[in-house]
Amino acid sequence: MRVWGNWRHARRGGLLCLGSAFAVPVGAEMQFNFPAPASPAARDIYDIHMLTMGITFVLLMIIYAIVCYSLFVHRKSRGATPDRTFHLSKFARWSWLMVPILVLGVDLTIAGSAENVLHQIWQVPKDEDMLEVKVVGHQWWWEFEYLDQKLNIESRALPPAKAGDHYLREVDNRLVLPTGTRIRFLHTSADVNHAFWIPELGMKKDAIAGYVTETWTVLDREGVFRGQCAELCGTWHAKMPVVVEAVSPEKFGAWVEDQRKVAAAAAAEAASDKVWSKEDLMERGRDAYNKNCAACHQLDGKGLPPAFPPLIAGQPFPAGADLTKPLADRGFFADGKIVLGTVDHHLDIIVHGIPGTAMQAWAQLNNLDIAAITTYERNAWGNDTGDVVQPADVEKARAASHTAAAQ
């Protein structure tokens, strides 16, 4: 990690104030200040950060100097005699006015420069076209919708083995953005509150269900910028990285074309009438399950009781009635243990979710993926039901009324 700015010198024990000019060697991994800005807004924020830190640092040193002087000089052991009328002096009579005026001056200096920056970054310019990206927070992944390009990207943390040095800060699909282009982000959430944060872009905005908030930025250099969810969003809050890949506008155009082709091919495959073999479905199912379902239900299907149920028949699930009752209603829970209900109910849970619990509706997955996941769940980890679910079955489940399952 790069250490940026000369604040490094200042922070190492206030060396700056002593006039020391040499840089203290620090561990390659240690970072003391903001990462290098990659947008004009982040640069402005960095400057205001350094300004407020500078002002407060100087003030702090003055106050500390006065206190230290007093501690040294005005001590009984040095034979000091207390000035018992000091609180009646002229200074005392006017200090209640002098100090606030002084502090107000400092406050206005800081607030004034903050105001200037705030005006530039807070409101999104309305006068020109922007690249618009809708950012939707989910438990626990990000969805990026390029509104003009009609492109939808799902971004999930990679497992440690694949992420390597970028442990918890690498994703399967990055948020690819062009440099030198005004970009407007629209933030919202599909479930609980999240917050979209990329330090290099000087950008943080909460994603709140029912709200659409906006931010904007211009990337002024290429690179990979890593941030993560900044608002506690439940169990895997720590596993919600945001990785921005800034590329030239040409590369961005090519990337959009590639993504469209991939999406079209996947859609065509999923929509075909082909009848899939169990082996194919199991293989696809494992990948899709590990990507979409394992965050809660775990790679081994054992879940995380009492929050997330296991998916293995016979496993105990010691949870509250708020979770076990809807499961029992759908035929997936009996006598304190998980049982496997019918394929129809299984598909219903995946397509429509279980309202009032963390199990969301997964209708955005295509029929093939849902068929594969269902087949995988019903045959993996010793479930061995032999059931094979085809995309056509999923189509039927989508059409079926959701209430059917709640009986």
Please, which of residues 327-356 interact with other proteins by CB under 8 A? 336
35 interacts with other proteins by CB under 8 A: yes
Give the C-alpha separation, 170 to 190, whole Å: 22
Give the C-alpha separation, 398 to 148, whole Å: 28
Residue with tokens 């943390």, as numbered in its chain: 157
31 interacts with other proteins by CB under 8 A: yes
161 interacts with other proteins by CB under 8 A: no
Provide, rounded to whole angstroms, the least separation between the CB of residue 382 and other proteins.
24
175 interacts with other proteins by CB under 8 A: no
Provide, rounded to whole angstroms, the least separation between the CB of residue 94 and other proteins.
10
Residue 228 neighbours by CB distance under 10 Å: 20
**Shorter beta-carbon distance to other proteins: residue 229 or 397:** 229
Give the C-alpha separation, 189 to 195, whole Å: 9
The H or E element spanning position 120 is: helix 90-122
6 interacts with other proteins by CB under 8 A: no
Q: Pick from 80, 262, 265, 334: which binds other proteins (CB under 8 A)?
A: 80
* Single-letter code of the amino acid located at 346: H
* Single-letter code of the amino acid located at 326: P
25 interacts with other proteins by CB under 8 A: no
Provide, rounded to whole angstroms, the least separation between the CB of residue 338 and other proteins.
15
Contact mark string toward other proteins, 104..143, x via CB under 8 A: x-xx--xx--xx-xxx-xxx--------------------
Residue with tokens 């979770």, as numbered in its chain: 323
320 interacts with other proteins by CB under 8 A: yes
Provide, rounded to whole angstroms, the least separation between the CB of residue 147 and other proteins.
18
CB 202 within 8 A of CB 42: yes
CB 192 within 8 A of CB 199: no
258 interacts with other proteins by CB under 8 A: no
279 interacts with other proteins by CB under 8 A: no
1 interacts with other proteins by CB under 8 A: yes
228 interacts with other proteins by CB under 8 A: yes
**Shorter beta-carbon distance to other proteins: residue 227 or 391:** 227
- Distance of CA 55 to CAs 48, 133, 334, Å? 10, 38, 65
Dihedral of the alpha carbons of 344, 345, 349, 354, in degrees to the nearest 10: 150
Q: Pick from 133, 171, 192, 296: which binds other proteins (CB under 8 A)?
A: 192
Give the C-alpha separation, 204 to 215, whole Å: 8
Q: Pick from 15, 151, 168, 343: which binds other proteins (CB under 8 A)?
A: 168
103 interacts with other proteins by CB under 8 A: yes
Give the C-alpha separation, 389 to 347, whole Å: 9
**Within 13 A of 316's CA, how many CA atoms are on the CB side?**
1
33 interacts with other proteins by CB under 8 A: yes
Provide, rounded to whole angstroms, the least separation between the CB of residue 42 and other proteins.
8
158 interacts with other proteins by CB under 8 A: no
Provide, rounded to whole angstroms, the least separation between the CB of residue 339 and other proteins.
18
- Cα 260–chain centre separation: 25
166 interacts with other proteins by CB under 8 A: yes
**Within 13 A of 60's CA, how many CA atoms are on the CB side?**
8
Considering only CA atoms, which of 395, 366, 391 is closest in space to residue 154? 366
Considering only CA atoms, which of 277, 304, 389, 294 is closest in space to residue 342? 389
315-320-325 Cα angle (round to 5):
80
Provide, rounded to whole angstroms, the least separation between the CB of residue 329 and other proteins.
17
236 interacts with other proteins by CB under 8 A: yes
User: Which range binds other proteins by CB under 8 A, 125-133, 172-180, 186-194, 326-334?
Assistant: 186-194
Provide, rounded to whole angstroms, the least separation between the CB of residue 174 and other proteins.
16
Q: Pick from 25, 318, 386, 399: which binds other proteins (CB under 8 A)?
A: 318
Q: Looking at the DSSP assignment, which residues form a beta bridge with residue 152?
A: 145
**Shorter beta-carbon distance to other proteins: residue 33 or 259:** 33
Q: Pick from 65, 147, 232, 262: which binds other proteins (CB under 8 A)?
A: 232
Is the Cα torsion angle 214, 219, 224, 227 positive or negative in sign? negative
Q: Pick from 19, 21, 22, 82: which binds other proteins (CB under 8 A)?
A: 82
